[in-house]
Chains A and B, each alone.
Chain A
Amino acid sequence: MIVTVDATSKVPPYEQIRSGLAEQINDGALAVGTKLPTVRKLAADLGIAPNTIARAYRELEEAGLLETKGRSGTFVAATGDRTRIRARDAARRYADTAHKLGLSEDEAIAIVTAAIRTS
C-alpha cells in the first residue's frame, strides 16, 4: 500500500494522491478502518506541500471514502465500502451462531474456509 507522486506527470499532485488512495480503498488494499498517515507526514514523505495532501484528503472525505476522527487521525471510512460492511456483518452473525453452538475458534474458521473453497 504505497502512494506515489510523479513530479514529471501532467496530472496535478493532489489528483495523483486522491486517485491513488481511492483506487486502493475501492479494491480493498486499504481496508475499512485503516489509519492513514497524517497530512504533515505524507507531505514530508512525498516532498510536497501539506495543503496538497489536505486537498486530496478533503475530496476523499467528501466522497465518503475517508473520515476524520478528531485528533485520532484520518481513517478509511466504512461508508466507502458497502460490500465489505455486509461481509463483516455476516461474519459477525456467523461468529455469534458458532459461539452459541459451542464450536471452537479453529473449528469455526475451518468451516468458513471449507465453505469458501467449495462455493
Chain B
Amino acid sequence: MTRKLLQLAVLIGSVTATGWLLADNHKHGESKSLPPVSNAKWKTECSSCHTLYHPGLLPERSWRKMMSGLDQHFGENASLDPVTQKEIMEFLVANSADHATNRRSAKISQSIPAQSTPLRISETPWFVQKHDKVSTDVWKRPKIGSPANCTACHEGAEQGNFSESRIKIPR
C-alpha cells in the first residue's frame, strides 16, 4: 500500500516537473516570450489603427514621449481624454522594455543608445538587426505593407510572441 502510494507520488512529481521544464515561461528572466500583460483601455485605444504593440518592445522614455504627443502621433491625431491617457501611460511604463525582466525586452533595451529615444519599434537597433534579411519588396507586399504591421508575419505578436517557429511571411 505504502509502496503504491509512493509510486503514485513519484509519477505525479515527474509529470509536473516535465511540464515545468518544457514550459517556456517557467522562470522569469529566462523566457524569450514577452510576458502576458493586459489593460482594457490599452487594448481598445492602441489597436484601433495599428497592431497592439506590447509595452515590452520599447523603453520607458519612449513610451513617455509617445504618450505626451498623441495629438501628432506619426502624422495623425490620436488624442485621448486625460484620464485614459494617464492610465495607458502608467501601464506602458510599468511593463516597458527596461522594466520587464524577459530576455527579449532586455536585448531591445540594451540595443538602444542611452541618448536616443526611439518612437518607432522598427528603428531600434534590435529590430533592424533581426529584420536585416527582409528586403524592401517583402515589406511592400499588399498583405504586409510596412514594418508597422507585425501581425502580418508574427501571428502571436499581440500576445508578445515573436518566436521564429511562428513566423509565416505572406506571399
A and B: interacting chains:
no
**B interface residues with partner A (beta carbon < 8 Å):** none
